Amino acid sequence: MNYASAAAGILEETGRHYGSRVTFNDQIASFVTTMKLYSALLIQNQEALSKYIADSLFIINIGSNDYIDNYLLPLLYPSSKIYSGDSFAKLLIDNLSLQLESLYRLGARKFVVIGSGPLGCIPSQLSSNKSITGQCVDSVNDLAMTYNSYLVQLLNTLNSTLSGSFFVYEDVYSPFIEIINSPSTYG
């Protein structure tokens, strides 16, 4: 199943300037609704449903929008005026921790959590930072790297504190930087 929504972030307010979107908390609520339906229609006992959920792989790809559609839009969101890059990353990680723990309490055990890519290399950031040469914006990439660093720490903590859990960090930042820095190697 896929509960993804364009512009959704870890934080409730992320992407609100686009109008309607399904926040990560709403996505978790939709998962709860789906599990109730499965329980009632497809899986006749709670033990079978619990096993089904525990055996499922949860792929979580969230966090980048909190920068693209929140922190890096100071005319629409106050977050960059309130938080340093480091404290904003910690805010995201604190909220994500609660969300992942919520999924764990619902029976999820196997997670792949995808880190942020090099946001300073995406077209919107190249344009808004007036990168005429196409050079990635280091200050924005630094935000992504800080978030990724805290994310790795969080997943290590969750692996050691949530019994039976298996959290894997998927690094998408490094491969993209490698491709950007060595384009001829990759065609």
pLDDT tens, residue by residue, 58-95: 999 999 999 999 999 999 999 999 999 999 999 999 99
Per residue in 145-166, pLDDT (tens digit) is 999 999 999 999 999 999 999 9
Q: 């525990």: which residue's tokens?
A: 54
Write out pLDDT tens, residues 15-25: 999 999 999 99
Q: What is the pLDDT of residue 35?
A: 87
Domain ranges for the chain, please list them: 57-186
| Spatial distance between the Cα atoms of 35 and 31, rounded to a whole number of angstroms | 6
Q: Tokens in use for 155?
A: 């997943």
Q: Is the pLDDT of residue 97 over 70?
A: yes
Contact present, 114 and 60 (Cβ < 8 Å): yes
What's this model's pTM, rounded to 2 decimal places? 0.94
| pLDDT over threshold 70, residue 42 | no
CB 113 within 8 A of CB 24: no
